[in-house]
Amino acid sequence: MIAVFVNMATVLVGSLLGILFRNRLKPQLQEALMKALGLCTVLIGISSAIKTENVLCAIICMVLGTVLGELLRIDDGIENAGDFIKGKLFRNGGGNSRFTEGFVSACILFCIGSMTIVGSLEAGIRHDYSIIYAKSTLDFVSSMAFGAAMGLGVTCSVLFILLFQGGLTLLSGLLAPVLSSAVVTEMSAVGGVILIGMAFNMLGLGKERIKVANMLPAIFLPIAYIPLASWISGLIGG
């Protein structure tokens, strides 16, 4: 778990540094920074999504995962958690208007991707923290930019990192047998698609906000899809 705490620390410190600079940025510059981060998120999402080796897997997992997420109302749950934390921090009802948006966006950005999955497995099974340390360096830079654009909500995302990434690390022994390279590739690709959706929200595209958190179950569905598809292919081929 040491690597998880290091990752949390880099996001905590990075976002706080960004918040310090935020107070010196004009509103127009903050908005411009937000758009720039949105475009960078598109780039990150596309770079992950295009690595898919099974487009059908990504499509089916996104569809089924979104249905499951809508039924579970995950997006509402994460937003409510953000609102709850905001209420505790700003009891007078004030505070950063982008707190919840920053919390949700940072939770998704810092916990989606192959570095999180593979890094958590390596840390939990082999006690190899190199991938998480590399991710922590990237997250440090990203959290500064997001902190400057969205404020304290980004800082509070460390709680989600503890739950999500810490959970993967603790369960690594159980998950390792089912997380083949093919499964991790498709999980990362699905995560990339979700990041693109988050970028659309950051850029203000579309009439309504995309509830990207409701798509999170899709990330884990390749664990079932890949072996099932292989088994069906074997039956047909046989």
pLDDT in tens, 224-237: 999 999 888 888 86
Tokens read off for 37: 């981060």
What residue numbers bound the domain in which 29 lies? 2-237
For residue 92, what pLDDT is reported? 62
- Tokens, residue 85: 């934390």
Q: Is the pLDDT of residue 93 over 60?
A: no
* pLDDT score recorded for residue 10: 94
Say how many C-beta atoms besides its own lie within 10 A of residue 216's C-beta.
24
Amino acid at position 14, single letter: G
Domain count, the chain: 1
Mean pLDDT of the 75-85 span: 84
Asked if residue 70 lies in contact with residue 91, where contact means CB atoms within 8 angstroms, the answer is no
Helix and strand element counts for the chain (H, E)? 12, 0
d(CA 133, CA 115): 10
* pTM for this entry: 0.82
> What distance in Å separates the CA atoms of residue 222 and residue 107, rounded to the nearest whole number?
21
| Tokens, residue 27 | 């509103």
Q: Judge whether residue 96 has pLDDT over 80.
A: no
Report how far residue 121's alpha carbon sits from residue 112's, in angstroms, rounded to the nearest whole number: 14
Query: In this model, does residue 23 exceed pLDDT 70?
Result: yes
Q: How far apart are CA 94 and CA 148, in angstroms?
A: 18
Identify which has the larger pLDDT, 197 or 115.
197
Q: pLDDT (tens digit, 9 = 90+) per residue, 42-64?
A: 988 898 899 999 999 999 999 99
Rounded to whole angstroms, the Cα distance separating 155 from 185 reads 29
Is the predicted pLDDT of residue 173 greater than 80, yes or no? no
